[in-house]
Structure 1
Amino acid sequence: MTRSFFRMVILACLALTLTGCSGAGYVAQSLKGHAGIMAARQSVSKLIADPSTPEALRARMESASAIRQFASDELDLPDNASYRSYVDIGRDYVTIAVYAAPEFSLTPLVWCFPVFGCVPYRGYFSRDAVAKTVRELQQQGLDVHVTGITAYSTLGWSSDPLLSTMFTQDRTYLASLVFHELAHQRVYVNDDTAFNEAFAVAVEMTGVRKWLNALGDAAGLARYEAGLERNAEFLALVAKTKSELAGIYAGSGTVQNKRAEKAAAIERLRTRYRRMRDESWAGYGGYDNWVEGPVNNAKLAATSVYNDLVPAFLRLFDLCLQDYPRFYAAVARLDRLAKDERTEALVSAKSCG
């Protein structure tokens, strides 16, 4: 899910253009949380050089430093101070994102901020603020989805650090986060989260493949490709359920009937998933928590933000002969179009432009 909430709120509020920000308390917790992280930064290079640095931490920093340099040298991503410092935040997630959608719609709510536009989620450092927002949204009859975030970007306006939450899995996971967040610094389009996130996912995917190939890590690449294949199969299940729900919501049934049919469609998703997990994935349960937890319109809509346009971006990357500067230039040209025209141009592209 989203890893880049604060490139909107932090920058808008730092610019002191607060008109439209949703409450002084919301702004205050955002600024306080971000400022605390920035104040705790430690230089990666100094941690590597310092003989008192624990060996496990030094190894992580050395790996992160190499990944960061690869991003600029080989993927043409910004060569700046971002992800060259480190903060141990002492918790599982750096922020928490809240999504919401109507009971009978898969279109998520959006929240708008001055200067940097609108996004289909809100992010918080404060758990109390999350609980308050969830209660308010649910009281309006909305479906709500809450998810932890491991990294965020300020689009290069501040020197974003590596966070301890980015090291919870293997180095491939770390590389995917670094490439994804730096991609947002290369191209960012206001008011088009689905475009921005799918672009970053495409850079992340192609970048990780190139990085693993450069390392000669055939086993790591095989694991990564297997994970992408499982993810594609899972997203296909989700897409099928969303299609079923869209038909239900567009129908003429009563509220009670639609609720019953909605619940049945979600239960079918769980049944299909379990069958796929047990029969095709040899019991791999990496999506169990997602499926067995609450599933609603907000959660389903969140998957679209990151994934729906990824195939179109990957195709454009191939049309640009897998040349990153040409690819970024082609994507940047799409920014000149209106949102609907931009999506259509991306999906129907027949050349690099």
Structure 2
Amino acid sequence: MIRPLPSHRLLDRVFRILFPGVMLLLLNGCSSVSYYSQLADGQLQLLRAREPVTKVIADPSRDAKLRAHLVQSQKARDFASEHLHLPDNQSYRLYADIGRPFVVWNVFATPEFSLTPQNHCFPIAGCVAYRGYYSQSGARGEAALQHLQGMDVSIGGVEAYSTLGWFNDPIINTMLGWGDERVATLIFHELGHQRFYVKDDTEFNESFATFVEQEGTRQWRAFRGLPPDNGSQMIQRDQFIELVLATRSRLEKLYAQPLPAPQMRERKAAEFERFRQDYRAMRDSQWGGDKRYDAWVNAPLNNARLLPFGLYDQWVPAFAALFRQVDGDWVRFFAEVEKLGGLTVGERKAKLKALADSQNSGS
């Protein structure tokens, strides 16, 4: 693994020198030039905006709330390396204000009658199930093109992402809107990607990082003497995800049937309506009418909107089972994760399914 260079200013220079040459090797058409150019511009903007967190905290002219958030972020950052055995580098010890609510907007697309995402391949990250844009207008333009081609499309704003250790990733202003604990969870999640990453397997990578985020947050709360966050919001979140995944499962079975398009379209719409009805019944009977997910549920639904749930949550139970098998030892856990990453795709999925089944059955 290539270790990050010590100076973020030096990285800026390296990026400017090397990236044009890399672009020449990668690009093969006007659309590629346009897309990779916005990626380069967006990443370079982020690199240039970075400054040491310690400098911001020490500057009395900076916003007091920002400085307080950054003080708390560094406690979580130290905990990540010292207790969760996540990479100890300059990532998340820098701060960047990029002046917008999200760092990127991801465009997800699937065929009309499939939950298989349209993958996009990149030299560092490998193939992933989305395409990222540093401007919302760029994402909307891509989504419109995909829609014209008959695809189901969804756009999602992203608060943070990992460059997998190639650069020292900063805490971004986009990460600070939901409080100090949310910043901690994002740090744990993104450092999880730095700790281990398998090219071309989004479900594995995101489920792994989500487990690191969730277990890391549980331990972070315990470390500070706080009770586990097993309140109603967490329970509702898990129940909602379960409902979405059940809908995905039914749709997958539906799309495997040899039905004519009009009938398939009608039954697809019926499945989404069933999902809405099941959600409202659960909300009213179990949640006391809490409407926190109403806006998401009542918006237009399609296959692409369900994709993040399958990508980010599918194998979390498997990693939880693996963590339990190694008695909660992070070093042993990461070693076992690396073994999983070395398997073929088929072997890896079979192992993950067996782990998930053992976790769900409580064995």
Task: Please give the TM-score of this superposition, normalised by the length of structure 2.
Answer: 0.88
Secondary structure of the 2:264 match is helix
Same amino acid, percent of matched pairs: 43
5 Å matches for 1:295-334?
A: 295-334=301-340
Rounded to whole Å, the distance in 2 between the matches of 1:25 and 1:284 is 44
Paired residue for 1:159?
A: 168
State the Cα distance separating 1:225 from its structure 2 match: 5.0
Counterpart for residue 5 of structure 1: none
Secondary structure of 2:160's partner? coil
Secondary structure of the residue that 2:109 maps to in structure 1? strand
Displacement of 1:13: 6.2
1:287 aligns with 2:316: no
Whichever residue aligns with residue 346 of structure 2, its letter is D
**Greater relative contact order (Cα 8 A, min sep 6): structure 1 or 2?**
1
Q: CA deviation at 1:127?
A: 2.6
Whichever residue aligns with residue 151 of structure 2, its letter is L
Q: Are residues 115 and 174 of structure 1, via their aligned partners in 2, closer, same or farther at CA, if it must alter by over 3 Å?
A: closer
For residues 128-139 of structure 1, what are the structure 2 equivalents within 5 Å?
Answer: 128-139=137-148
CA RMSD of aligned residues (A): 2.0
Q: Which deviates more from structure 2 when the two are superposed, residues 320-329 or residues 109-118?
A: 109-118
Contact 2:140-2:155 within 8 A present in 1 as well: no
The size of the alignment, in residue pairs, is: 337
The reply on whether 1:36 has 2:42 as its aligned counterpart is: no
Instruction: Flag structure 1 segments of 5+ consecutive residues without an equivalent.
Output: 1-9
* Superposition deviation, residue 53 in structure 1: 2.5
Q: Does residue 1:242 correspond to 2:248, yes or no?
A: yes
The corresponding residue for 2:259 is 253
Partner of 1:109: 118
Distance 1:134 1:234 in 2: 26
1:267-289 CA distance string (max 9 Å, x none): 11111112212221123233222
- Aligned to 2:108, what secondary structure does the other structure show? strand
Map Cα deviations across residues 272-322 of structure 1 (whole Å, 9 max, x no partner).
Answer: 112212221123233222211121111112211111111000100111111
Deviation string 1:179-201 (CA, Å, 9 cap, x unpaired) is 00000010101111100111101
Deviates more, 1:260-269 or 1:130-139: 130-139
Name stretches of at least 5 consecutive residues in structure 2 with no aligned partner.
1-14, 359-363
Partner of 1:27: 36
2:86 alignment partner, SS class: coil
Q: Secondary structure at the match of 1:253?
A: coil
Residue aligned with 1:159, SS: coil
Tell me, yes or no, if structure 1 residue 82 matches structure 2 residue 91: yes
1:227 is aligned to 2:233: yes
Work out the CA distance in 1 between the residues paired with 2:330 and 2:28.
Answer: 36
Is 1:172 the counterpart of 2:181 in the alignment? yes
CA contact (8 A) 1:110 1:118 kept: yes
Counterpart position of 2:58: 49
3-state SS in 2 of match to 1:155: coil
Q: Which moved more, 1:327-336 or 1:17-26?
A: 17-26
CA distance in 2: counterparts of 1:288 and 1:207, whole angstroms: 29
Say whether the 8 Å CA contact 2:128–2:200 is kept in structure 1.
yes
Q: Structure 1 residue runs of 4+, over 6 Å off?
A: none
CA shift for structure 1 position 115 = 4.8
Q: Following the alignment from structure 2 to structure 1, what is the Cα–Cα distance between the partners of residues 172 and 301?
A: 29
2:256 partner amino acid: A
